[in-house]
Amino acid sequence: MARVHGYQHRLSRARGRPPPVPPHGRRRRRPLGVTAPAADPTANKDVVQRWFALGLSTPEALDLVADDVRWHLPPSLAVLLKDDASAAEGHDGLRWVTRMSDAVYAERRPSEVDFLIADGDWVVMQMVVNSRLHTGDYRNRYCFTIRCAQGRIAEIYEHLDSLHFFRTALDPPQALSDVRARIDDSS
């Protein structure tokens, strides 16, 4: 089909007509000599590691994050976000996630990183979180899928056993009310 299209293009030009649009739509072309910036997986991994080490929403950590960042939680945990949204947005959203986390965890313990890999703009980090909640001890495996753009974190997808989290941190129903009250108190 590409040969036919090329042939039609030459015929159209010879007849003074604009070339036909390829069946898949117009292609956006870059000027000669201009290429898309290559993603640097090693640099992206470094950004993610530094961001976690700095505390997610500290002023230094926010320098590593895009202004319009989106943090996607599992749908079952959206009850912890403002207005039951599906994602926390912007730097204020990251601060909210930190307040939410502080309201759930009574004591933080070091996490165990299983692996950290990168491919282009994407970084994946799997870890085991060990903490003490206000309701008891907690251990769960998390996987963060993080997209970087222009050297900054642009999007975060959080994956975990949300049923285990819910049963451990937010059951009985009074626990959810207590967490929400602690979030409001920290605002």
pLDDT tens for residues 83-117?
767 899 999 999 989 988 888 888 888 999 999 99
**Residue 187: C-alpha distances to residues 56, 71, 182 (Å):** 17, 19, 9
Rounded distance between C-alpha atoms, residue 32 and residue 6, angstroms: 20
Residue pair 156/123 in contact (Cβ under 8 Å)? The answer is no
Residue pair 73/159 in contact (Cβ under 8 Å)? The answer is no
Predicted confidence at residue 158, as pLDDT, reads 96
Regions of the chain where pLDDT drops below 70: 1-38, 84, 172-174, 187
In the numeric block, the tokens 């999007």 are attached to 155
How many domains, the chain? 2
In the numeric block, the tokens 């293009």 are attached to 9
Rounded distance between C-alpha atoms, residue 121 and residue 101, angstroms: 26
Predicted confidence at residue 30, as pLDDT, reads 47
Strands 87-89 and 112-119: unpaired
51 and 91 in one domain? yes
147 and 105 in one domain? yes
**Residue 85: C-alpha distances to residues 44, 52, 156, 186 (Å):** 27, 23, 15, 20
- Report the Cα 126 to chain-centroid distance in Å: 13
144 and 65 in one domain? yes
98 and 155 in one domain? yes
Rounded distance between C-alpha atoms, residue 89 and residue 104, angstroms: 20
Predicted confidence at residue 104, as pLDDT, reads 86
pTM for the complete prediction?
A: 0.72
Predicted confidence at residue 140, as pLDDT, reads 96
Domain that holds residue 106: 41-186
70 and 21 in one domain? no
